């Protein structure tokens, strides 16, 4: 407790000093970039700090306020950030001129915190490029077909668990329930471990994995310290997670890799792919157990909270929209019958309406409200609109893209709050206005895996259950107004599984 109190005091003194002895909130004005009305110390983060808005509302507020510009400036406390809202400029930043924006903004110090700092999400420059190339083979169609079998085992366990529950309708808190399911999938596909988090509710893997996947408020404070006082951050050798969590996963990977290599065991999972890559490249010294653990852990960061959130929102929308659920179930049953009841990876790819439904969920409830990049070499934004000035973006500047706000812009999506899967009935899929997994080379490498996981569980659910609302279902859904990196329901998300 004392440790975190000292951390808060240090941050406050820094903010106070910077505010009194400098003029941080004139940064964008001097460059001719439109900005809002930041508060002293808190910048444009004050509505979040005082819980007046949730993260989606806050991002959308500034997006609407700045509707007449292609980009605008905000301040995360004292740190200036450039927000890109124009689709063409977003494409330039993420694709065309990617060489200027190759990295994510640093959140930890890799040497002090290798579990978090050495994973693909945090790696920079050539290290990122090399690791991405190595991991790409994990997500080919052939790999997905193989891993699909492991996911199917988790699906069958999920369905059987709820079939065994008494009563015709089983009420669940969707986020917590799907979190347990995704933990089991990650355990078997990434770590080579089989767990049953629905029956064994307090298993060690679930406890450690939940802590690993969730960025708490204290972790957020550490990130702020890393971004504003990196020297001090390095001095304290801070880590995102407790030593117990780091040690658990490092020992787990080390023991598993050692056992597989000694006993010549082969298992068709992500961990095996990393082991094979290390053997193939002969890089045991440069590609260590620490590196393998970091890559396995990235599936928690990227796949646990975000995927379980998408699943919970999918269940909510289907429970509210029975006509859509009925249409989707009919497609699932028809295609299943055409294939003699065999639901394979290729069979799921045939389900077009399922794809439309999931695309609409990802539009309305994207895994991340904001996606970010760091300017890695000076970039120039030339004027396009009347009144615009040439803006020089210095190296090190943080760039943000208000993903949630763009997905809810009525200019691109009429009646954005309505759930309409038919929006995605064309091949175009809105292209530059739709990117739930990011865009360009830094887009989520595991998006194909995530989509397969989400689609597969709902195919199994809808063949067996009808999703319904209950007395606890909040309609309309309200998002919580406290610290969170993504959209979270205010009072949980309750739905019912009605046995067919």
Please, are residues 322 and 145 in contact by the beta-carbon 8 Å criterion? no
**Is pLDDT at 358 greater than 90 in this prediction?**
yes
Least confident of 198-202, 284-288, 393-397: 284-288
Q: What mean pLDDT is predicted for residues 320-325?
A: 98
Mean pLDDT of 268-288: 75
β-pairing verdict for 398-401 and 79-84:
parallel
In terms of average pLDDT, the best of 41-50, 266-275, 318-327 is 318-327
Q: Mean pLDDT throughout 437-460? A: 94
Return the higher-pLDDT residue of 309 and 291: 309
- pTM of the entire structure? 0.90
User: Quick check: 70 pLDDT over 60?
Assistant: yes
The band of 477, judged by pLDDT with boundaries at 50, 70 and 90, is: very high
Residues, the chain: 500
Q: What is the mean pLDDT of residues 103-120?
A: 77
pLDDT score recorded for residue 292:
85
As a whole number, mean pLDDT of residues 33-57 equals: 86
Read off the pLDDT of each residue in 239-243 and give the average, rounded to a whole number: 74
- For the cut 70, the answer to whether the pLDDT of residue 232 exceeds it is no
pLDDT attached to residue 69: 95
- Give the Cα separation of 57 and 408 in Å (integer): 11
d(CA 100, CA 441): 12
pLDDT band at 305 (very low <50, low <70, confident <90, very high): confident
Mean pLDDT along residues 350-358: 97
Dihedral sign computed on CA atoms, order 222, 223, 229, 234: positive
Write the CB contacts of 355 (distance below 8 Å, at least 6 apart in sequence).
424, 455
The pLDDT score that the predictor gives to residue 362 is 97
How many angstroms separate the first and last alpha carbons of the chain?
51
Question: Residue ranges of the domains in the chain?
Answer: 130-369+404-499
Half-sphere exposure of 423 (CA within 13 A, CB side): 26
The answer to whether residue 278 scores a pLDDT higher than 80 is: no
Range name among 25-39, 98-112, 365-379 with the lowest pLDDT average: 98-112
State the chain's mean pLDDT as an integer.
Answer: 87
* Domain covering 130-369+404-499, topology: Cytochrome p450 (1.10.630)
Q: Which of 43-52, 181-190, 255-264, 374-383 has the highest mean pLDDT?
A: 374-383
pLDDT of the residue at 351: 97
Q: What pLDDT was estimated at residue 249? A: 83
CA distance 445 to 429: 19
Q: Worst-scoring range by mean pLDDT, 12-21, 71-80, 165-174, 469-478?
A: 12-21
* pLDDT exceeds 60 at position 321: yes
Of 75, 28, 44, nearest to 389 (Cα)?
A: 28
Question: Does the structure show a pLDDT above 80 at 5?
Answer: no
Which pLDDT belongs to residue 226? 65
Contacts for 484 with CB less than 8 Å, ≥ 6 apart: 54, 55
d(CA 167, CA 154): 23
Instruction: State mean pLDDT over 431-456.
Output: 92
The whole-angstrom separation of Cα 279 and Cα 257 is 12
pLDDT band of 424, cuts 50, 70, 90: very high
Which pLDDT tens digit goes with each residue over 80-99? 999 999 999 999 999 999 99
State yes or no: pLDDT of 62 exceeds 80: yes
- Tell me, letter by letter, the H, E, C secondary structure of the chain: CHHHHHHHHHHHHHHHHHHHHCCHHHHHHHCCCCECCCECCCECCHHHHCCCCCHHHHHHHHHHHCCCCCEEEEEECCEEEEEECCHHHHHHHHHHCHHHCCECCCCCCCCCCHHHHCCCCCCCHHHHHHHHHHHHHHHCHHHHHHHHHHHHHHHHHHHHHHHCCCCCEEEEEHHHHHHHHHHHHHHHHHCCCCCCCCCCCCCHHHHHHHHHHCCCHHHHHHHHHHHHCHHHHHHHCCCCCCHHHHHHHHHHHHHHHHHHHHHCCCCCCHHHHHHHHHHHHCCCCCCCHHHHHHHHHHHHHHHCHHHHHHHHHHHHHHHHCHHHHHHHHHHHHHHHHHCCCCCCHHHHHCCHHHHHHHHHHHHHCCCCCCEEEECCCCEEECCCCCCCCCEEECCCCEEEECHHHHHCCCCCCCCCCCCCHHHHCCCCCCHHHCCCCCCCCCCCCCHHHHHHHHHHHHHHHHHHEEEECCCCCCCCCCECCCCCCCCCEECECEEEEEEC
Does residue 339 have a pLDDT over 80?
yes
8 Å CB contact between 407 and 364: yes
Query: For residue 126, with 0-12 CB atoms within 10 Å meaning exposed, 13-18 middle and 19 or more buried, which class applies?
Result: exposed
Share of the chain above pLDDT 90, in %: 52
Using pLDDT thresholds of 50, 70 and 90, give the confidence band for residue 298.
Answer: confident
* Confidence grade of residue 414 (pLDDT, cut at 50, 70, 90): very high
Q: Which residues of 277-315 are buried (b: 16+ CB within 10 A; e: fewer)?
A: bbeeeeeeeebebebbbbbbbbbbbbbbbbbbbbbbbbb
pLDDT tens digits, 181-197: 999 998 888 878 889 99
Residue 214 is predicted with a pLDDT of 67
């Amino acid at each position: 407790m004392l440790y975190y109190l000292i951390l808060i005091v240090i941050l406050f003194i820094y903010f106070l000093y910077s505010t009194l002895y400098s003029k941080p909130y004139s940064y964008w004005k001097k460059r001719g970039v439109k900005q809002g009305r930041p508060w002293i110390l808190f910048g444009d983060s004050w509505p979040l700090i005082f819980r007046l808005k949730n993260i989606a509302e806050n991002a959308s507020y500034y997006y609407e306020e700045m509707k007449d510009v292609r980009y605008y400036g905000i301040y995360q406390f004292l740190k200036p950030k450039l927000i890109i809202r124009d689709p063409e400029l977003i494409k330039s930043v993420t694709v065309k001129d990617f060489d200027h924006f190759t990295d994510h903004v640093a959140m930890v110090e890799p040497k002090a915190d290798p579990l978090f700092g050495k994973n693909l999400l945090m790696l920079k420059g050539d290290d990122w490029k090399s690791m991405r190339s190595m991991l790409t083979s994990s997500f080919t169609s052939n790999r997905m077909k193989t891993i699909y079998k492991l996911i199917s085992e988790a699906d069958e366990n999920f369905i059987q668990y709820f079939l065994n529950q008494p009563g015709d309708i089983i009420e669940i808190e969707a986020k917590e329930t799907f979190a347990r399911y995704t933990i089991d999938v990650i355990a078997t596909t990434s770590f080579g471990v089989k767990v049953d988090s629905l029956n064994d509710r307090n298993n060690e893997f679930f406890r450690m994995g939940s802590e690993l996947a969730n960025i708490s408020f204290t972790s957020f404070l550490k990130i702020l310290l890393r971004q504003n006082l990196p020297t001090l951050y390095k001095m304290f050798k801070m880590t995102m997670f407790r030593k117990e969590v780091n040690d658990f996963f490092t020992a787990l990977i080390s023991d598993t890799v050692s056992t597989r290599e000694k006993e010549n065991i082969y298992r068709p999972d992500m961990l095996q792919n990393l082991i094979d890559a290390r053997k193939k490249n002969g890089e045991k010294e440069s590609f260590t157990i620490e590196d393998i653990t970091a890559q396995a852990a990235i599936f928690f960061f990227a796949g646990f909270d975000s995927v379980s959130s998408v699943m919970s929102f999918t269940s909510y929308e289907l429970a509210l929209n029975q006509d859509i659920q009925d249409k989707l179930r009919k497609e699932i049953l028809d295609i299943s019958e055409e294939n003699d009841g065999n639901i394979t990876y290729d069979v799921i790819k045939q389900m077009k309406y399922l794809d439309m439904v999931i695309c609409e969920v990802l539009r309305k409830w994207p895994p991340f409200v904001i996606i970010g990049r760091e300017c890695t070499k000076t970039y120039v934004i030339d004027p396009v609109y009347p009144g615009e000035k040439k803006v020089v973006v210095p190296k090190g500047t943080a760039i943000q893209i208000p993903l949630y706000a763009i997905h809810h812009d009525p200019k691109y999506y009429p009646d954005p709050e309505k759930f309409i899967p038919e929006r995605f009935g064309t091949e175009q899929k809105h292209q530059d206005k739709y990117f739930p997994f990011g865009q360009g080379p830094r887009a989520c490498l595991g998006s194909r895996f995530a989509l397969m996981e989400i689609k597969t569980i709902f195919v199994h659910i809808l063949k067996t259950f009808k999703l319904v609302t209950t007395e606890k279902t909040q309609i309309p859904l309200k998002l919580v107004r406290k610290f969170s990196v993504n959209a979270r329901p205010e009072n949980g998300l309750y739905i019912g599984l009605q046995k067919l």
